[in-house]
Structure 1
């Protein structure tokens, strides 16, 4: 499984959406289910799945599907598979 597939599966599971919904418009402000509790669940699952530990600033700035990919790249997660 590629990192992008893993990443997408996490979002699909947490937010109960289809892969087609995961795009630049999938953001904290536009997704009703994306509240503070869901946000921390997302962060925890991402840390476990990719064996990383987010810095506080990155947790606070993690506000969209696309932004999350860029943040994960900072931790060495490659999406060029």
Structure 2
């Protein structure tokens, strides 16, 4: 259920209601995902999954799917 945790982090960090889909979300694709919210999202991802993203990963984190890929690179298994 790790994928559910990832969705939850995106929803809480970007203030997205539970009924809205986040799987296809992209940076700046949501009015609330600005640079400040981006850093908040990064911190929440690091806290929730116990990882430390490097600068290149923070910059590259441009979508929900990319966040999933980055976390998997850190050994986080994201399954339904």
Q: What is the TM-score with the length of structure 1 in the denominator?
A: 0.87
Cα deviation, residue 6, structure 1: 1.0
Moved over 6 A (4+): none
Unaligned stretches of 5+ residues in structure 1: none
Unaligned stretches of 5+ residues in structure 2: none
Partner of 1:23: 23
CA RMSD of aligned residues (A): 1.4
Alpha carbons 2:3, 2:78 under 8 Å: kept: yes
Q: Deviation per CA, 1:13-67, whole angstroms, max 9, x where unpaired?
A: 122223542122x111311101111000100111011111001100000010111
Partner of 2:50: 51
Alpha carbons 1:15, 1:33 under 8 Å: kept: yes
Partner of 1:39: 38
